[in-house]
């Protein structure tokens, strides 16, 4: 009797142990299915000047935290100011000429040209009269051949002056041709574009931070010549902070876009960050070696991006983190 009781008790303990082990395995599997491993992904940007010049001042150094719009460095702006002044003067001159062309010639100028034409006509009449008189006197010997040639030359000069005065009067009276007006308009537009470019170049002598972040590297020194587009600073952005993780196909339903998750790092395992799955890659790929799960290293997985909503200085670029479903 006692032996049968002991056997029944042993069977009960085995059954209870099997049930507990089964429940433990299910809980462990559920926890594993709700956990991903990835790395912090923080964007950085290379900052450079859009114009060339000599560096006048550097206001930040590596490790400095900067805010949007904060001044980082300045170029010597004197050559750019000279270019701007030249562009201003050129635009003013072309604007004045363009206004003159559109308004046309002044009535005073037209009247003055008409008066010169009348004077030239009168001079031509007198020269013609003298030439005819010399032509009559020369055959009779009352005048010399030289005097006749002089009268002819003066008549021809008066005729040329009359024609020139007449052309000048017509030019002023008719005004500018449409092609001349169009040319003047185009030249003024070009001058205004050059002026805008000169003003922009002067503003670009100041390098400002486009967003909040930390200066990672500084590649320029005061007094050096900086070429346009050459890297000056490398800025690590504070926002957005992402986590790049990888999920197996069997877990895709758990980590769909919009799913809320928590993030923990090895350096601060008790601190929980919060995030949302923002992107799930539609293409499978092999798990990168940086993911520290041995059983998934050679498996095909899908890359996801988690947007961290409460990131702080505790999350650094490339840091390995653990991603779990939010409870």
Beta strands in 180-310 (DSSP E): 206-208, 213-218, 225-226, 231-248, 260-265, 273-286, 300-308
Mean pLDDT of 36-45: 88
State whether 212 and 257 are in the same domain. no
With bands split at pLDDT 50, 70 and 90, how would you rate the model's confidence at 209?
very high
The verdict on residue 248 lying in a domain is yes
Displacement of CA 285 from its chain's centroid (Å): 35
pLDDT the model gives residue 31: 43
State whether 224 and 246 are in the same domain. no
The verdict on residue 219 lying in a domain is yes
**Contact indicator for 35, 327 with CB cutoff of 8 Å:** no
* Alpha carbons 99 and 97: distance in angstroms, whole number: 5
Neighbouring residues of 22: CB distance < 8 A, sequence distance ≥ 6: none
Who has greater pLDDT, 9 or 248?
Answer: 248
Mean pLDDT of 265-293: 77
The verdict on residue 302 lying in a domain is yes
Check which CATH number belongs to the domain holding 248 and give it.
2.40.30.170
State whether 229 and 248 are in the same domain. no
Of 26, 25, 80, 30, the closest CA to residue 52 belongs to 80
The verdict on residue 60 lying in a domain is yes
Find the domain containing 307 and state its range: 35-42+240-326
State whether 186 and 273 are in the same domain. no
Token duo for residue 100: 């003159």
The rounded percent of the chain whose pLDDT value lies above 70 is 79
State whether 261 and 285 are in the same domain. yes
Please name the helix (run of DSSP H) or strand (run of DSSP E) that holds residue 8, with its range, or none: helix 2-33
The verdict on residue 300 lying in a domain is yes
State whether 284 and 182 are in the same domain. no
pLDDT the model gives residue 50: 94
According to DSSP, the residues that pair with 47 across neighbouring strands are 233
- Write out pLDDT tens, residues 220-274: 999 999 999 999 999 988 888 889 888 888 788 888 888 899 998 888 888 889 9
The verdict on residue 314 lying in a domain is yes
> Residues 287, 288, 289, CA angle at the centre, nearest 5°?
115
The verdict on residue 51 lying in a domain is yes
* Alpha carbons 237 and 226: distance in angstroms, whole number: 24
State whether 111 and 194 are in the same domain. yes
User: Per the structure, how many domains does the chain have?
Assistant: 3
* Helix pair angle (78-103, 178-203), 10° resolution: 160
* Alpha carbons 254 and 33: distance in angstroms, whole number: 8
State whether 157 and 258 are in the same domain. no
Neighbouring residues of 72: CB distance < 8 A, sequence distance ≥ 6: 47, 58, 59, 60, 66, 207, 208, 209, 215, 232, 233
State whether 117 and 264 are in the same domain. no
The verdict on residue 4 lying in a domain is no
pLDDT the model gives residue 287: 59
State whether 109 and 54 are in the same domain. no
With bands split at pLDDT 50, 70 and 90, how would you rate the model's confidence at 293?
low
Check which CATH number belongs to the domain holding 60 and give it.
2.40.50.100
State whether 61 and 165 are in the same domain. no
Q: What are phi and psi of 270, to 5 degrees?
A: -85, -15
According to DSSP, the residues that pair with 262 across neighbouring strands are 274, 324
Please name the helix (run of DSSP H) or strand (run of DSSP E) that holds residue 73, with its range, or none: strand 71-75
User: What Cα–Cα distance (Å) separates residue 188 from each residue in 82, 90, 183, 184, 315?
Assistant: 20, 9, 9, 6, 55
State whether 253 and 305 are in the same domain. yes
* Alpha carbons 289 and 297: distance in angstroms, whole number: 6
Q: Whole-model pTM? A: 0.61
Q: Which range scores top for mean pLDDT: 127-131, 140-144, 215-219? A: 215-219
Who has greater pLDDT, 286 or 62?
Answer: 62
Burial 130-167 (b: 16+ CB within 10 A, else e): bbeebeeebeeeebeeeebeebeebbeebeebbeebbe
pLDDT the model gives residue 11: 55
With bands split at pLDDT 50, 70 and 90, how would you rate the model's confidence at 192?
very high
């Amino acid at each position: 009797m006692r032996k049968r009781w002991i056997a029944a008790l042993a069977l009960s303990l085995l059954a209870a142990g099997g049930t507990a082990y089964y429940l433990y395995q299910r809980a462990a599997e559920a926890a594993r299915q709700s956990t991903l491993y990835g790395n912090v992904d923080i964007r950085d940007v290379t900052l450079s000047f859009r114009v060339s010049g000599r560096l006048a001042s550097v206001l930040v150094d590596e490790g400095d935290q900067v805010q949007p719009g904060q001044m980082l460095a300045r170029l010597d702006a004197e050559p750019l100011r000279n270019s701007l002044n030249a562009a201003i003067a050129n635009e003013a001159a072309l604007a004045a000429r363009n206004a003159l062309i559109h308004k046309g010639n002044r009535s005073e100028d037209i009247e003055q040209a008409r008066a010169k034409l009348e004077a030239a006509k009168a001079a031509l009449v007198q020269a013609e009269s003298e030439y005819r008189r010399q032509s009559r006197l020369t055959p009779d010997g009352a005048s010399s051949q030289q005097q006749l040639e002089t009268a002819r030359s003066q008549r021809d000069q008066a005729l040329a002056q009359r024609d020139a005065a007449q052309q000048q009067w017509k030019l002023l009276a008719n005004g500018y041709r449409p092609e001349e007006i169009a040319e003047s308009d185009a030249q003024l537009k070009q001058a205004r574009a050059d002026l805008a470019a000169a003003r922009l170049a002067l503003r670009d002598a100041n390098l400002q931070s486009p967003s909040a972040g930390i200066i990672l590297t500084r590649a320029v020194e005061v007094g050096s010549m900086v070429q346009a587009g050459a890297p000056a600073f490398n800025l690590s952005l504070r926002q957005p902070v992402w986590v790049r993780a990888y999920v197996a196909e069997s877990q895709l339903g758990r980590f769909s876009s919009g799913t809320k998750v928590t993030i923990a790092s090895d350096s601060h395992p008790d601190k929980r960050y919060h995030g949302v799955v923002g992107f799930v890659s539609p293409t499978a790929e092999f798990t990168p070696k940086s993911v520290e799960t041995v059983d998934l290293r050679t498996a095909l997985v899908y890359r996801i991006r988690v947007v961290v909503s409460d990131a702080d200085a505790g999350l650094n670029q490339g840091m390995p983190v653990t991603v779990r479903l939010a409870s």
